[in-house]
Amino acid sequence: MKINPVNPATTLVGKTESLNSKKISPATKTEKAAETEQFIAGNTRPEKVITYHKQTAQADRSTIARLQAESEKAFASLRRIVTELLARQGYSAEQAKEARPAYPPAIEIDETARTEAAQLIAADGPWGAEAVSNRIVDFAVAISGGDKSKLPEIRKAIEQGFGQAKNILGTLPDLSLQTYDLVMEKLDRWENGET
């Protein structure tokens, strides 16, 4: 009785095939080939085995850092407006924080603060719907590494974020609703390759 050796095998995207039965196609852009020598039972010498691994998208760290810096700069402007508003009324930010739980000070939003805040949320301002929606979408693309297969997760996370804001505020201001609509439109354009 003769026992035949096990045929040399190759793992190719989850399939096992004889090395001689088919040509092995080169890896696609999202796959990486790793060729190793491996001992196959029944053979007297090691055989080459090629394994393909789908490469995962890498987050764009430089874009994320840039967006974080932009957001911090915009937030600093808002913080400055509030701090100066409190100072004009004889309060410090620390006093307002300490008084918040029991007896918040009666703060009047003056015309200076109103004007500066209006500039921040204007169409061309750093907190306007266009600028914020750009930052949200740029962040989503960067954190996903440009992998459009992650769009359902991205959309779900954005919807949850806006939903949490609505739960906190009771209702979203028109500016937030405009921002949400712009975000979803921009994600659609990205998905369709229009951006």
Could you write out the DSSP letters of every residue in 16-65?
A: EEETTTSPPPPP-TTEEEEEEEE--TT-SS-EEEEEEEEPPPPP-HHHHH
pLDDT in tens, the chain (195 residues): 445 444 444 433 343 343 334 343 444 444 455 555 555 566 666 666 666 555 667 888 999 999 999 889 988 988 999 899 888 888 887 876 765 555 555 778 899 999 999 999 999 999 999 999 999 999 999 999 999 999 999 999 999 999 999 999 999 999 999 999 999 999 999 999 986
CB contact at 8 A, 104 and 96: yes
Which pLDDT value is given to residue 53?
57
Spatial separation of the C-alpha atoms in residues 10 and 24, rounded to whole Å:
9
Spatial separation of the C-alpha atoms in residues 133 and 139, rounded to whole Å:
10
Spatial separation of the C-alpha atoms in residues 158 and 23, rounded to whole Å:
44
- pTM of the model as a whole: 0.64
Which pLDDT value is given to residue 40?
58
Spatial separation of the C-alpha atoms in residues 165 and 143, rounded to whole Å:
22
Which pLDDT value is given to residue 141?
94
